[in-house]
């Protein structure tokens, strides 16, 4: 097994770039920042929604990001 495979950064994740309706929310329950893995709890963070449609019921997938990481991600052009 080849363990040195290069993976793209999480900021280039296919689902993250298609998340819409970003809004600033208060994290009452522990969440994890998608980009850094930092625990977000009892703090303000950004929440994005991605809806996956297909045959059957739509699936809602939420993405959470730290405030500063979200701003940096947007300034870099969402890459």
- How many domains does the chain divide into? 1
Could you tell me where the DSSP H helices lie in 1-79?
67-75
The Cα–Cα gap between 22 and 29 comes to: 18
Residue 18 inside a domain? The answer is yes
The whole-number pLDDT of residue 5 equals 66
Burial class of residue 13 in the structure, from the number of CB atoms within 10 Å of its CB (0-12 exposed, 13-18 middle, 19+ buried): middle
Residue 5 inside a domain? The answer is no
Name the pTM for this structure.
0.80
10-residue block means of pLDDT along the chain (79 residues)?
A: 64 76 94 91 94 91 93 81
Domain span holding position 22: 10-75
């Amino acid at each position: 097994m080849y363990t040195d495979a290069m993976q793209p950064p999480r900021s280039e994740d296919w689902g993250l770039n298609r998340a819409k309706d970003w809004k600033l929310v208060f994290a009452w329950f522990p969440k994890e920042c998608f980009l850094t893995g930092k625990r977000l709890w009892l703090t303000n963070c950004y929440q994005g929604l991605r809806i996956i449609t297909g045959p059957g019921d739509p699936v809602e997938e939420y993405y959470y990001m730290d405030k500063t990481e979200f701003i940096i991600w947007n300034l870099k052009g969402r890459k």
